[in-house]
Chain A
Amino acid sequence: MRKFMNLLKKEIKELLNVQLIVSLLFTLSLFYFMGILVQGEKEKMAAPQEVAILDLDGSSVAQGLAQGLSSANFHLNKLEEKSKEEAIEKARGSGASLLVVIPSGFGEAVSSFQSPEIETYYFIRGVSISSTGASGVLKMVIAAMNDYLSSSFLKDKVPGVDPERLKNPLKNRDFVVVKDRIEEGSPAEVINFLMSQSTFIPIILMLIIIYSSQMVISAVAMEKENKTLETLLTCPINRNYIVVTKMLSSGLVGLLTAGIYMIGLRNYMGEFGRAPTSGQLTPVVERLGLVFTPEGYFFLGVSLFFAILCGLALAVILGVLAKDLKSAQSLVMPITLLVLIPYFLTMFSDFNSLSFPLKILIWAIPFSHPFLATQNILLANYPPVLYGILYMFTVFAILVLLAARIFSSDRVLTMKLQLRRKGLMGIRM
């Protein structure tokens, strides 16, 4: 055990070097400052929007319209200019992003059921989040004005009836059915929740697998490049220790790195889980039982754990093929691809709707299973999760045996990936 710990300590120290720590701190602070910036812009967007308004009509209808905008949480800046041109100049100088011009004769046109025209001027001064968000304000202003006007019409023509009932005579109730449960609620809420859950976890998984694999491959390649592997292999250490400590240290450092990236990402996104659309538990989601139970967390953890182990074991074998650190960089590609394929496929399509050959392909890739597990666990569909874990365990066992076999033979020194002419790749033993 002393030898194992000695080796593990050295592996962790090799990986957790100053360069990595500096880059992690840099990333963390970058995300933090980006988060502050984004948060500031979001607050600006959430604040009541300032709308400049020029009323050239002066009718009661036009005044009512302005009042309607005020009550719809717009901060109105009434301009007293005599012409449209002067108002545009004034608004341009004031920093307002939207100017609404109510032409003369507007009230009369409304009263005679013609379609009156109002003019809106949107001032583009930049492309920040808040300024792009402000373009949506334009639609909201028009909608608020239309709503006010149509309600006014209806009140005049059909007094005593709520205009809302006339505008939306049809009422509906949404129900969501999941397995044997039927609950009233918005399907969009449920879908958004499921999507957010199956996006967040795969991102963590993807980061851990790619980082850790890269570290293992680099660790083995570095031993080869620095000519330290031969000495290590002649030391009285169980060679399986070399394989396991490389995997374990990379897994731990990969976990730490991914954790720091996720904290940074969380800071950046800031709003994770605040709005119902981005993953917060809503009553309908809770009533449908779409929550992670302790049992669900356990299975998801096991699934993630075995996917990481498969990645690490595969990386050890790929690391042996590397001649030096430079060639090690390109050897991460197969693992990255194997992670990205299920990541994108499960993100943009439903696994159950895929064709049979594609399903087999996704199933054969060990990294697919945690991606699929998240949704299956939420839907209490456990058998596929268990089969996935069993499959990953089998793949891991085969890969570890293969890695141990390579390390206990002279293949660890003689195996090399060669780029032959015509771009063909081959393994030289």
Chain B
Amino acid sequence: MDTVLKVKGLKKNYGSLQALKGISFEIQTGEIFALIGPNGAGKSTALRIIATLLSPAEGEVEVLGFNLRKEPEKIRERISYLPEEAGAYRNQRGIEYLKFMATFYAPEPQVAAEYVKRGTEVADLGERLYDRVGTYSKGMVRKLLLARALMTRPLLAILDEPTSGLDVINSLEIRQIIREYVKQGTTVLLSSHNMLEIEFLSDRVALIDKGVILDSGTPRELKEKYSADNLEEVFRRAVR
């Protein structure tokens, strides 16, 4: 198995607040790796750094063999990022949004058309895909954004709270889609504070709190280690 992501001693400060205090982890090809922790634990900051949005204060990040500081453009070509509070252009139609984003990733128009076709399937919005995004519900926007993130079949998909704002049925569908894409070769780094979701979805998990990774392993390993029935219990015991 190849290493898709290497994070070593990653630190980030916002003024006097230290959001990340030197976290380290690695993700292998075809894995679903989850960062779990409460709000403000540093999950989104870590994901935003890996997605090339924020620059680290200290530490090293290597994505698919490319150094984050030196070659962020090469990383951007190979990853996709779904922010927790993302939006789409309200004046664009859903289909226009997918076409717009596909053009940035596709080397030629035919490939872009393939991406859009795939995105249309993932979004599963039917005729509503031809309506303006401004008329969509929060759940519909989220599905459109997830479709955008997965349609290019990225080597690494960084998904921050992927089912945020979705109802139970939609959340189940999204989890299913993520699993299918992993089977087709996409590696996933996700964050969530919904620990039940993580337990269902992830191959490996890192518990993060106050900018520090407390522990990591498969959900089963962690449950055994902490003699817990679920990841919520694991987290509670790890924090102690």
**Chain A residues near B (Cβ < 8 Å):** 2-3, 6, 10, 13-14, 17, 226-228, 230-231, 233-238, 409-410, 413-414
Contacts and interface: CB of A to CB of B under 8 A. Distances in A.
B186 interface: no
Interface string B24-64: 00000000000000000000000010011111000000000
A413 B85 CA distance: 14
Contact of B52 (A2, A3, A234): A234
A230 B86 contact: yes
Contacts of B53: 230, 233-234, 410, 413
B90 interface: yes
Given A230-B53, A236-B77, A410-B53, A3 B85 contact: no
B130 interface: no
A425 B100 CA distance: 38
B83 A227 contact: yes
Nearest first, the 9 A-B pairs at minimum CB distance are: A227-B87, A236-B77, A234-B81, A226-B87, A410-B54, A6-B103, A236-B76, A235-B104, A230-B83
Contact of B86 (A13, A228, A237): A228
Contacts of A237: 104
25 contacts: A2-B103, A6-B100, A6-B103, A6-B104, A10-B100, A226-B89, A226-B90, A227-B83, A228-B89, A230-B53, A230-B83, A230-B86, A231-B82, A231-B101, A231-B145, A233-B53, A234-B52, A234-B76, A234-B80, A235-B101, A237-B104, A238-B73, A409-B55, A410-B54, A413-B54
Contact of A236 (B55, B73, B88, B100): B73
A256 B91 CA distance: 21
B168 to A, nearest CB: 24
A228 B86 CA distance: 6
A6 B105 CA distance: 12
A334 B83 CA distance: 33
Contacts of B148: 231
A350 B80 CA distance: 58
Given A3-B103, A409-B55, A410-B54, A234 B89 contact: no
A91 B100 CA distance: 73
Given A14-B91, A236-B73, A410-B54, A227 B100 contact: no
Interface string B67-111: 000000100110111110111111110000000110111000000
Given A6-B100, A235-B101, A227 B85 contact: yes
A237 B52 CA distance: 12
Nearest to A428: B15
